[in-house]
Chain A
Amino acid sequence: MELHLLLLFMIFAAIVAVEVKDLLSSVIGVGAVGFALCLAFLILKAPDLAITQLVVEILCLIILIRATINKDLPLVIEGRWVFNTFATLAFVAVFLFFAFHALKELPSFGDPIMSVVKRYIAQGKAETGAVNLVTAVILDFRAYDTLGEATVLFASVIGIMAVLRRPGRKKIEEKNHD
């Protein structure tokens, strides 16, 4: 029951975030979606994910606000706006119709199949010595995926430093000091 209310709140906040003209208000809407997601992770009995989602959301908000201060855009309705909007909404409706029929094949909510996990739950504490099963899975049973994630983060940090580098920065600083 609480999950239904949280999801309805997230849908409302997402509509606000996508449609509002002011950029700062839409960033606050994205922050609301992220914090409601952290609450949903707590209700679904996943404390690791709740901690990580909370702190990542805070850092993401700081970065988004940095990019959007004092930079707005006036709305202009031009050309084939009506046709484009209706085409997108028709595509979304067809997608949701087929998704509804596909989702009936999944096992019902609260009754997972759990065929792979039986061995991890039964022997995880004895084989790795770790009490937290999620840590045992990401750092011992599936440590190769964690190596891949470390590589992706490294690549994104290098990419940001390469994009934001400005040649001739020292010359401008010397001009300022004169």
Chain B
Amino acid sequence: MIDNPKNGMSLLVKTITRITVGLILLFGIYIVLHGHLSPGGGFAGGVIVALSLVHLILAFGREAKVAKISMNLASNLESLGALMFLSVALLGFLGGTFFLNVLNKGLPFKLFSAGTIPFSNISISIKVGVGLFAIFLALIILEGTKRKR
């Protein structure tokens, strides 16, 4: 992290990162999907997904393939997440009021239950995760081409 060289960290860190990035991403998706059954929800899961991408860039340096995702793609994905959340809210108009929970409630303790709550969780996790990753990219990547004045 200090000086953030173009090649990233040592070989040991890179080898371990190949294994752990997938596990952290899977754990984040699990916390998002089970938000209505166990503690967690959209915000915690979204931050964990962002942390897995940050882990990849910190280990492999600025030249990693993930860092080539331009700022435009990250902004578009974040706006897509916000628009999905708004459309779930407007879906409540089918029942009568804004944000009404209109889908089938199902049985408790099952994964497919609780109406529109899982869709809200997924859209919030996309928005928070990609947004925080875009903040990290702006702070780290855009620093490299300055101090020439």
Contacts and interface: CB of A to CB of B under 8 A. Distances in A.
Given A58-B51, A143-B120, A157-B78, A129 B115 contact: yes
B120 to A, nearest CB: 5
Given A143-B99, A146-B124, A150-B127, A47 B39 contact: yes
B138 A48 contact: no
A103 interface: no
Interface string B72-98: 000100100010011001000000001
B145 A138 contact: no
A59 B139 contact: no
A125 interface: yes
A153 interface: yes
A136 B117 contact: yes
A65 interface: yes
Q: Is the interface of A mostly helix, strand, loop or mixed?
A: helix
Interface in B47-64: 47-48, 50-51, 54
Given A48-B41, A138-B41, A131 B36 contact: yes
A39 to B, nearest CB: 15
A119 interface: no
Interface in A117-162: 125, 128-132, 134-136, 138-140, 143-144, 146-147, 150, 153-154, 157, 160-161
Chain B interface, DSSP helix/strand/loop, else mixed: helix
A144 B113 CA distance: 21
A51 B39 contact: yes
A135 B34 CA distance: 11
A143 B41 contact: no
Contact of B51 (A55, A69, A154, A169): A55
Nearest to A47: B39
Given A52-B44, A55-B48, A132 B36 contact: yes
A130 B127 contact: no
Interface residues of A, number: 43
Contacts of B8: none
B61 to A, nearest CB: 15
B132 to A, nearest CB: 6
A50 B40 CA distance: 9
A150 B85 contact: yes
Interface in B89-137: 89, 98-99, 101, 105-106, 108-109, 113-115, 117, 120-121, 124, 127-128, 131-132, 134-136
Given A139-B117, A139-B120, A143-B120, A157 B139 contact: no
B46 to A, nearest CB: 9
Most B CB atoms within 10 A — which of A129, A132, A161?
A: A129
Nearest to A138: B41
Interface in A40-87: 47-48, 50-52, 55-56, 58-59, 62-63, 65-66, 69
A169 B98 CA distance: 45
B89 A147 contact: yes
Closest 8 CB pairs of A and B: A129-B105, A47-B39, A130-B36, A129-B114, A130-B114, A52-B44, A143-B99, A55-B47
